[in-house]
Amino acid sequence: MKLYLLPSSKIFDFLLHIAEDGSVYYPVLENDKTHITRFDKDKRLEPNFEKIRTAENVKHFFFPSRDVVAAFPDDIHTKAPKQYIVGVKNCDLRGVDVYDRVFLQWEPVDPIYQQRRENTIIISADCPQPEDCCFCNLVGLTPYSEGVSDINITPVSAGLLFEVFTQRGEAVLNMTKDLFTEAGKEYEKERDAMRKKAVKELSTINERAIKDDIDDRIHGASREMKHEARNDCVECHSCLHVCPTCYCFLLSDHKRGKDLERVRTWDTCYYAAYARVGGGVNPRSTLDDRFWNRFECKFNYFKQYEGFYACSGCGRCFRGCSAKIDIREILWKL
């Protein structure tokens, strides 16, 4: 596939150009962490594509934590705006892949998600500097994208190396073609060397692999194992709120004057009422069972449905956990 070079001096011009077509969001470094920031031509905040994934996941763009999905008697929906998300790492793309399968490929299709997805251009970026919380290599991913996004970029010495995956990505390049030059082989070699180094770094961070039959081991785990795994959990729920692949939700109706709104909000399997049904019966009434459901869902159930783990190895769960529970340690013990 042909590669294109965006010189360092043209990066701001590229962001400025696509911002004329829709809202642009990109990673900006602050206090040694990158955060998703909306592009503002007057602020000229420097993008950072070399750090690991942003502190926030991209789930909010497609599946907000609070989402009005219907209104009665009059529907209030407007067309989803065009937007560009730039610098998305492969671990967050795993989340988008999960949503695509759940909301688009399973019946019924979610029309709200579908419209947002169709109006969002995703430009992913290589992850050249993995950190100790990263374990994408343990769940079948690489620290660079080979799909799901429309375009992938790699920071190289002369600027950004662009690789197009979709027709939408091709259209973006055609729209900004005056900014690009065709990349020489030396930049492709530089990219490949950076990727090889990142993969090696991940193998050093995560020396042990997850067992091939981890789904069976999770399903057959003893009650003692489940209790030991969750023993330090304080039920802060951070791990599930920051997870880029969680998609459980609740629907509730709320009165607004004379009208009614139906609202979709995030749900998590650690909530005490997560599995409760009519009459108050709850098949997952204990924290042990709710805690373990997370592992069943991501490493067993979803693997059965779609053939891959619904975990991206982004490490946000460990970073956000009040008790610093590392799911890698739990998986390695099984």
13 touches 193 (CB < 8 A): no
76 pLDDT more than 70: no
160 touches 12 (CB < 8 A): no
Instruction: Give mean pLDDT, residues 306-333.
Output: 96
Per-residue pLDDT, 162:
97
> Given CA atoms 49, 52, 55, 61 in this order, what sign does their dihedral have?
positive
Which DSSP string corresponds to 281-328? --TT-SHHHHHHHHHHIIIIIHHHHHSS-S-----HHHHH-TT---HH
Which of 47-61, 130-144, 185-199, 251-265 has the weakest average pLDDT?
Answer: 251-265
Per-residue pLDDT, 29:
96
pTM, to two decimals: 0.94
1 pLDDT more than 90: no
* pLDDT-derived band at 315, boundaries 50, 70, 90: very high
The one-character DSSP state at 45 is P
257 touches 76 (CB < 8 A): no
Sheet of 33-38: strand order equals 33-38, 23-30, 83-88, 120-125, 151-156, 159-164, 3-7, 181-182
Mean pLDDT of the chain: 94
Residue of 104, 199, 82, 103 whose CA lies nearest to 150: 82
* pLDDT-derived band at 280, boundaries 50, 70, 90: confident
Percent of the chain with pLDDT over 90: 88
CA dist 103 and 63 (Å) reads: 10
Which of 69-73, 150-154, 233-237 has the weakest average pLDDT?
Answer: 69-73
Strand 66-72 to 151-156 pairing: unpaired
Residue of 211, 234, 215, 210 whose CA lies nearest to 291: 234
What tokens appear for 58 in the block?
A: 């991209």
Per-residue pLDDT, 55:
96
